Amino acid sequence: MRARYGASPLHLLVHLAVLALAAWALLQALDLGGAERIVLWLVGAVVLHDAVLWPAYTALDRAARRGRPVGWANYVRVPLGLSALLFMVFFPVMCGKGEAAYTRVSGTTWEGYTGRWLLVSAALFAVSATLYLATSRGPRS
């Protein structure tokens, strides 16, 4: 059994139980309106990460580090990564994607989000520059 299946019976039973429960939940979800859109978002989440996000940041990082001295890159890619992360998560509010819905229910508008993101990004780069200066001019051991 183990030789043919490749793992223990416990492994098989746990996976069968889990797949059955997951299938039940998926059927419940698909029973709602917009089944094809739910599937699209489930598949899209994987495709977006594995086929777009991961290759993009890997390629960018490799290109940026080509031929540069080790250690130099972190002062750029860490604040750049933080700024990109903030944009990736909060671009809907920055670009006013949900503003029509938000204004309709709350009666107020969104102001200054892109500006605050730029200022925070500027602060991140400035802190990184300060740290770079402090470490590159400090005593070397």
| Structure tokens given for 94 | 């920055």
CB of 89 to another protein, least distance (A): 6
Q: Which of 59, 60, 63, 65 binds another protein (CB under 8 A)?
A: 65
Residue 110 near residue 93 (C-beta atoms within 8 A) = yes
Count CB atoms within 10 A of the CB of residue 140: 6
CB of 138 to another protein, least distance (A): 15
Binding flags for another protein, 2-41, as an x/- string (CB under 8 A): --xxxx--xxx-xxx-xx-xx-xxx-xx--xxx--xx--x
Instruction: For the chain, list the strands marked E by DSSP.
Output: none
> Are 110 and 102 in contact, with CB atoms under 8 Å apart?
yes
Coil, strand, or helix at residue 81? helix
Do 90 and 113 meet the contact criterion of CB atoms below 8 Å apart? yes
Closer to another protein by Cβ: residue 42 or 133: 42
Task: Catalog residues that contact another protein under the rule CB under 8 A.
Answer: 4-7, 10-12, 14-16, 18-19, 21-22, 24-26, 28-29, 32-34, 37-38, 41-46, 48-50, 53-54, 65, 70-71, 73-74, 78, 81-82, 85-86, 89-90, 92-94, 97-99, 101-102, 104-108, 110-111, 113, 116-117, 120
